[in-house]
A and B are shown apart, each in its own frame.
Chain A
Amino acid sequence: MQLSREDLLGAYRRMKTIRDFEELLHEEIATGEIAGFTHLYCGQEAVAVGVCEHLSDDDKIVSTHRGHGHCLAKGCDVTGMMKEIWGSREGLCKGKGGSMHIADTDKGMLGANGIVGAGAPIAVGAAMAAKLDGKDKDGKLKVAIAFSGDGACNQGTTFEAMNMAVVTNAPAIFVFENNHYSEHTGYKYAVGTSRDIASRAEAFGMKVWRADGTDFSAVHDTMREVLEHVRAGNGPAAVEFDTERFYGHFEGDPQRYRGKGEMDRIRSERDCIKNFRRTVTEAKLLEGSDLDRVDEEVAKTIADAVAAARAADRPTAEDVLTDVYIDY
């Protein structure tokens, strides 16, 4: 891991923020306080953070229905997100979008998405725009990233987007998070005989990478290579991360499709945050106490965000009619 102490602490803080944010949602949803459908990202933190640590606000990402991790990793405001999920009018999207539609275009976060497979074409458009804009102020080619699940890679939109990105030589990066499930169906069933998503991307003519998505340093190092390739003007690229989801597809999912002991094994062996802690402390890159301090700060951030969300203004009937158009 070629990262400074500060960078490591920053990465840990972001991963832990995602984890605590979602553990809290998991509890709150059970009490009925939060409305709508919520899909938790817990377990996959190393992917969002390992990817987004390389990006600036000028780089764009397009997310999925499981978007909290991507939003937080891209720098969306924790409290604004919490308020949004609570349905407040002070929320990042004024309570109109909720968990599945959080966006902040100023941060280069072009939206979570309720339609599986819808993100990749949008990311290609953002990549085309990046090409038109040329380099950013540091002389870097801007990029756009499409996060997609193993299920989403079965949509025609994803195939069309990959081909179009290749044809237009757009600086798009397809990040496939293979958490082995689309809802209640295993990728071994749904991803055809090769069971390998990256090779699909390869078939479109892209350079591809594969890495363990539960290993932060593997994600981070891989992404450095991917970004060097794409920012050098070589066109789109794809990467498949093998990862795990710690909760059900949506909150309330009984998960009867999981194998016996599967969750325990994942939690003990494939927890990206636990593994990060172990790796950095064993390598003496950080002290356990440094990490504990971050834990405390994050816990406070999340507690404050929830208190703010509870206290925030509720929307009113008139708010239904705003924001349909800029003017009409």
Chain B
Amino acid sequence: MAKMMYRDAVRNTIFQEMKRDDSVVVLGEDVVGGMGTDGGPEAIGGIWSTSTGLFAEFGADRVIDTPISESAIVGAAGGLALSGKRPIAELMFADFIGVSLDQIWNQIAKFRYMFGGKSRCPAIIRMVYGAGYNAAAQHSQSPHAILTGMPGLKVVMPTTPADVAGLLRQAIRTDDPVIFMEHKALYGVQGEVPDDPDFTIPFGHARLTRAGEDVTIVATGMMVGMAEQAADTLAEDGIGADVIDLRSTSPLDEEAILDSVEVTGRLVVVDEAPPRCSLATDIAALVAEKAFASLKAPVQMVTAPHTPIPFARELESAYLPNPDKVEAAVRKALSYN
């Protein structure tokens, strides 16, 4: 086991997989950084430092710095993938799916189906999502629900450095397009990462991070830490919570959610995105459909409000879920007998 940051787990995993498999290539804006400047290639090495050193090791044909052209980046990843490569494309901010949506939605997500199952599109679109930096409405969003709703895509949202390593390696070795969502507020988080160069985590397997019998709390990404904090506070009052980190939203580990709710009878879903047609509503509907008889209380959703993301510090913190809101939702669920 090596201790490393979330962002280093991204870079190390890509590095190891590029070494192992020549068909893995990286592309995106400033993934090299410094191209066409006096400072030269690798002057920066990726604005999130998730690609530093790759260019020096693998060269310009495999570490492709692109112009600001998200449609072309995602589309090219599709073309590379259909041609036998394993591209890892980077969108610097998940918000920029807006620019490349056709290539994600109508192209890479649908190739296999439209072509009668005869093609493979092992493309990864890595994107940096989430709020917490007062980066306002166009640089803070969590568009996982939109992407989860697109058949043909797998959507992965790691929370810990170990999960980054296991899930990203899995994504690179997967033959379908994968949306790999990295939360910008988690990049500096430290954790142990297994040394095994073949360490993978299959998609669709949630991680139970706290165990308890009174309530089930489901979360992803930065919301997992909030759920855990709330669970720890509640434990002081003798309230036990299962905290489930989904790890991927497509495929979704339905069993983990349903099994837990069957025991606890109470569900709180924590989601960083606005509430309508969201991950929170999706999970609430799943439980209403398949575990209705187990429920002792209405499902509680802790989400952002139905608004774009505001800029000012006070506004962004009011916008985001937090441990207090999760705790209150749990207490509300417990208030039903």
Binding site for B on A (CB under 8 A): 35-37, 87-89, 93, 95-98, 100-101, 113-118, 151-152, 154-157, 181-191, 254-260, 262, 314-317, 319-321, 324
Residues of B within 8 A of A255 (CB): 39
Q: Which residue of A lies closest to B307 (CB)?
A: A324
Residues of A within 8 A of B96 (CB): 115
User: What's the tally of chain B residues with a CB closer than 8 Å to chain A?
Assistant: 43
**Chain A CB within 10 Å, residue with most, of B37, B43, B313:** B37
Do B310 and A185 touch (CB < 8 A)? Answer: no
Do A95 and B315 touch (CB < 8 A)? Answer: yes
Residues of A within 8 A of B99 (CB): 115, 117-118, 155, 157
| Extra inter-chain contacts (15) besides given A87-B315, A157-B99, CB under 8 Å | A35-B133, A36-B136, A89-B312, A96-B311, A98-B311, A114-B95, A183-B29, A184-B47, A188-B36, A190-B36, A256-B44, A257-B34, A257-B40, A315-B315, A321-B307
List, sorted by A's number, 20 A–B pairs whose CB atoms are closer than 8 Å: A37-B133, A37-B135, A93-B311, A95-B311, A96-B310, A96-B315, A100-B138, A101-B136, A115-B95, A115-B99, A117-B68, A151-B68, A154-B67, A189-B35, A190-B68, A256-B39, A257-B43, A317-B314, A319-B310, A321-B305
Q: A98-B136, A115-B95, A157-B99 are in contact. Are A316 and B314 (CB under 8 A)?
A: yes
Q: A155-B99, A186-B37, A259-B37 are in contact. Are A36 and B315 (CB under 8 A)?
A: no
Do A184 and B30 touch (CB < 8 A)? Answer: yes
Do A320 and B311 touch (CB < 8 A)? Answer: no
CA distance A182 to B30 in the complex (A): 9
**Chain A CB within 10 Å, residue with most, of B39, B98, B133:** B39
Interface flag for B16 (CB, 8 Å): no
CA distance A321 to B270 in the complex (A): 19
Do A320 and B37 touch (CB < 8 A)? Answer: no
CA distance A43 to B58 in the complex (A): 37
Residues of B within 8 A of A155 (CB): 68-70, 99
Interface flag for B306 (CB, 8 Å): yes
Binding site for A on B (CB under 8 A): 29-30, 33-40, 43-44, 47, 65, 67-72, 95-96, 98-99, 133-139, 305-308, 310-315, 318-319
CB distance from B311 to the nearest CB of A (A): 3
Q: A185-B37, A187-B36, A258-B37 are in contact. Are A36 and B311 (CB under 8 A)?
A: yes
Residues of A within 8 A of B40 (CB): 257
Do A185 and B30 touch (CB < 8 A)? Answer: yes
Residue in A114, A115, A190, A324 whose beta carbon sits within 8 Å of that of B67 in the complex: A190
CB distance from B139 to the nearest CB of A (A): 6
CB distance from B310 to the nearest CB of A (A): 5
9 A-B pairs with least C-beta separation: A189-B36, A259-B38, A186-B36, A87-B312, A98-B311, A114-B138, A257-B39, A35-B134, A317-B318
CA distance A19 to B246 in the complex (A): 49
Residues of B within 8 A of A187 (CB): 36
Do A184 and B37 touch (CB < 8 A)? Answer: yes
**Chain B CB within 10 Å, residue with most, of A98, A184, A191:** A184
Residues of B within 8 A of A118 (CB): 99
CA distance A224 to B133 in the complex (A): 42
CA distance A113 to B99 in the complex (A): 13
Residues of A within 8 A of B311 (CB): 35-36, 87, 93, 95-98, 101
Residue in B305, B308, B312 whose beta carbon sits within 8 Å of that of A35 in the complex: B312
Do B44 and A87 touch (CB < 8 A)? Answer: no
CA distance A240 to B35 in the complex (A): 22
Q: Which residue of B lies closest to A93 (CB)?
A: B311
Do A320 and B315 touch (CB < 8 A)? Answer: yes
Do A115 and B35 touch (CB < 8 A)? Answer: no
Residues of B within 8 A of A96 (CB): 136-137, 308, 310-312, 315
Q: Which residue of A lies closest to B100 (CB)?
A: A156
Residue in A156, A182, A189, A320 whose beta carbon sits within 8 Å of that of B310 in the complex: A320
Do B139 and A259 touch (CB < 8 A)? Answer: no
CA distance A104 to B319 in the complex (A): 25
Do B315 and A100 touch (CB < 8 A)? Answer: no
Residue in A36, A37, A88, A184 whose beta carbon sits within 8 Å of that of B34 in the complex: A184
Residue in A89, A98, A184, A324 whose beta carbon sits within 8 Å of that of B306 in the complex: A324
Do B43 and A184 touch (CB < 8 A)? Answer: yes
Residues of A within 8 A of B312 (CB): 35, 87-89, 95-96, 98, 314-315
Do B38 and A257 touch (CB < 8 A)? Answer: yes
Residues of B within 8 A of A254 (CB): 44
CA distance A262 to B134 in the complex (A): 32
Residues of B within 8 A of A186 (CB): 34-37
Q: A37-B135, A324-B308 are in contact. Are A258 and B69 (CB under 8 A)?
A: no
CB distance from B61 to the nearest CB of A (A): 15
Residues of A within 8 A of B139 (CB): 37, 100, 114
Residues of B within 8 A of A156 (CB): 69, 71-72
Residues of B within 8 A of A183 (CB): 29-30, 33, 47
Residues of B within 8 A of A181 (CB): 37
Residues of B within 8 A of A185 (CB): 29-30, 33-37, 65, 67
**Chain B CB within 10 Å, residue with most, of A87, A88, A95, A181:** A87
Residues of A within 8 A of B30 (CB): 183-185
CA distance A113 to B310 in the complex (A): 14
CA distance A181 to B312 in the complex (A): 29
CB distance from B174 to the nearest CB of A (A): 29
Residues of A within 8 A of B36 (CB): 185-190
Residues of B within 8 A of A37 (CB): 133, 135, 139
Residues of B within 8 A of A152 (CB): 68
**Chain A CB within 10 Å, residue with most, of B38, B138, B312:** B312
Do A257 and B33 touch (CB < 8 A)? Answer: yes
Residues of B within 8 A of A154 (CB): 67-69
Residues of B within 8 A of A98 (CB): 134, 136, 311-312
CA distance A189 to B68 in the complex (A): 12
Do B68 and A320 touch (CB < 8 A)? Answer: no
